[in-house]
Amino acid sequence: MEKRGQFTSKFGFIMASIGSAIGLGNLWGFPYKAGMSGGFAFILVYLIFVALVGFPLMICEFAIGRKAKSNQIYAYKKLNKKFAFVGITGTIAVFLILGFYSVLGGWVVNYTVKYATSIFSSANAISAPEEYFNSFVSNEAVALIFLIIFMVLTVIIVIGGIENGIEKSSKIMMPVLFFFLVIVIIRSVTLPGAEKGLEFLFKPDFSKLTPSTMGMALSQMFFSLSLGAGAMITYGSYLSNDDNIQSSSIIVPLLDTLAAILAGIAIFPAVFALGLEPTQGPSLMFITLPAIFNQMHMGNLFGFVFFALVLFASLSSSIALLEIASSFFMEHFKLKRKVIIPIIAAIITVLGIPVALGFGVLGDVKVMGMGFLDLYDFIGEYVLMTFGALATAFLIGWVVKPKEVIDEMEQGGKFKFVGKKYFSFTIKFIAPILIFIVMVMSVTSVF
Ligand code: PFF
C-alpha cells in the first residue's frame, strides 16, 4: 500500500477544506434560498445554525479524522463498532452528490471555454442563452463528453495525491476564486438599479421563517459546509498531530459563509439591475447570468471571470468528493491511487449518465416525482447528509462523549482548546436536539 498522504502546511489544509466547502451550494443555492425565504431573517437563522451546529460538527469531523488517520468508515468503526454505518451512508452520499456535481461541472467547463474563446470578440459569447442551454443539454453526445472532461480533470488532480494534487491545486484555486468574486461584485453593485438586488437578498421578512424554510436552512448549511458526508473526516485524516485544528474549525465555516453571502452580492444586484427575475440552480447560472453578460460592456470578459470562478468552486468540491469516495476502497483493498481513483471515477461517471441525459432523452423519466438531478440531490443532501450530521452529533455527544474530541484537540496539553465548554454543550445538547426538531418539523410540514 502507498504511504498515507499528509497536508504539508496549515494554509494548504485550510485552502483544501474551504475548497471542499465552497461550491455550487454557495453560488446558486444559498443566495436564492436567502432571497426567497426571508432575506436577512433567513441569513440570521443560517448564521445561528452555523454557530450552534456547524462549528461543533466541524471540530468533530476534523478530530475524528485526525485521530483515526483512516477513511471515514474505519474512523466511525474505531470510535464505536455500531456506528460504522454512518461512514457507509456518508460514502453513499458522496457517490450520489458527485454523480450530479460532475454533470453540472461539465456544463461549467463548456461555458468557461465558450467565454474564454470569446473574450476578444465583439459578438456575444452566447447570444441566445436559453436556446444555447437547451440545445446543449439535450444533445446527448455533448452532455456526456463534458461530463467526462470534468471527471478527467478531477481525476488528474486527485491522482496527484494529497500534497501534490489536492493541496497544491487548492492553494491556487481558492485565492483566485475570491479575487474573481470581488471583481464580479464590483461590476454588479455599480450597475444602475443594483439596490433592488441587495434589497431582495437582505431585506428581513420574519414571516417567511416557517418550519420548512428552517429545514432548508439547516440542510443547506450541512451541504455547504460539507458536513455529514465524511468530507472533513477524510481531510482531517491527512493532518499531522502537530497541527492545531481549532483555528481551522473557525476559519472554514466563516469563509464558506462569507463566500455564500458574497455570491449573493455578486449575482442578484446584476439580475435586478437588468430587470430579470431571480431564479436558482441551472437556470440562474446558465440562462439568467449569460443574458446579463450580453447586456454588459465587456460582457464576455466578465462572463469568463465568472465561469472560471464557478469552475474552481466546483472542481475544488469534486476533488474532495472523489477523494472521500475512493479513500475506503484505497485502504481496504490496499490499492494504489492511480489504480483505484480512475475506477471509482468511472463508476460515478456511469451514475452521472442518467443525470446528464435527464435534460434530454430521459427528460420525462421521474422517480418519486423527481428528475435524476433532484433525486440524487434529495437523497444525498437532504436525507443522507442530515442523517450523518445527526448521527455524528449523537455519537460524540452521548456515546463516546465530547472529552474524546477535546483530548484529540489538545494533544496531551500541547494545544489549548479555548472553546471546550462551548463545544461540549453544543455538541451534547444543542446540535442533536436542534437537528432532530428541525427535521421533524420540516418533514411534518410537508404533510
Ligand atoms: N460543499 C459543497 C457545495 O457547497 O457545493 C458540496 C459538497 C462537497 C458536499 C463535498 C459534500 C461534500 F462532501
- Span 35-80, pLDDT tens digits: 999 999 999 999 999 999 999 999 999 999 999 999 999 999 999 9
Rounded Cα distance between 169 and 47, Å, is: 29
93 in contact with ligand 1, CB cutoff 6 A: no
Mean pLDDT, residues 161-188 taken together: 97
226 in contact with ligand 1, CB cutoff 6 A: yes
pLDDT at 325 exceeding the cut of 70: yes
**Mean pLDDT computed over every residue of the chain:** 95
CA 181 – ligand 1 centroid, Å: 19
**Angle at alpha carbon of residue 98, lines to 375 and 236, rounded to 5°:** 125
- Span 121-134, pLDDT tens digits: 999 999 999 999 99
Cβ-contact 278, 36 below 8 angstroms: yes
String of DSSP letters for 368-417: TTB-HHHHHHIIIIIIIIHHHHHHHHHIIIIIS-HHHHHHHHHTTTTS--
- Span 192-223, pLDDT tens digits: 999 999 999 999 999 999 998 999 999 999 99
Residue of the CA atom closest to atom 11 of ligand 1: 226
- pLDDT band at 298; cut points 50, 70, 90: very high
Mean pLDDT, residues 392-407 taken together: 98
pTM of the model: 0.96
CA 443 – ligand 1 centroid, Å: 23
CB neighbourhood size of 202 (10 A):
18
Cell numbers of 279, please?
Answer: 431564479
The pLDDT of residue 407: 97
- Span 332-350, pLDDT tens digits: 999 999 999 999 999 999 9
What 3-state DSSP class applies to 224? helix
Cβ-contact 167, 13 below 8 angstroms: yes
pLDDT at 266 exceeding the cut of 90: yes
321 in contact with ligand 1, CB cutoff 6 A: yes
Rounded Cα distance between 142 and 92, Å, is: 27
Residue of the CA atom closest to atom 7 of ligand 1: 226
Residue of the CA atom closest to atom 12 of ligand 1: 226
pLDDT at 156 exceeding the cut of 80: yes
CA 191 – ligand 1 centroid, Å: 31
- pLDDT band at 351; cut points 50, 70, 90: very high
Cβ-contact 241, 411 below 8 angstroms: yes
Residue from 400, 366, 40, 23 nearest 222 by CA: 23
CA 296 – ligand 1 centroid, Å: 31
26 in contact with ligand 1, CB cutoff 6 A: yes
- Span 412-432, pLDDT tens digits: 999 999 999 999 999 999 999
Mean pLDDT, residues 12-26 taken together: 97
Q: 422 versus 280: which is more confidently predicted?
A: 422
97 in contact with ligand 1, CB cutoff 6 A: yes
The pLDDT of residue 281: 83
170 in contact with ligand 1, CB cutoff 6 A: no
224 in contact with ligand 1, CB cutoff 6 A: yes
- Span 94-104, pLDDT tens digits: 999 999 999 99
Q: 360 versus 197: which is more confidently predicted?
A: 197
Rounded Cα distance between 318 and 154, Å, is: 7
Mean pLDDT, residues 3-21 taken together: 96
pLDDT at 1 exceeding the cut of 70: no
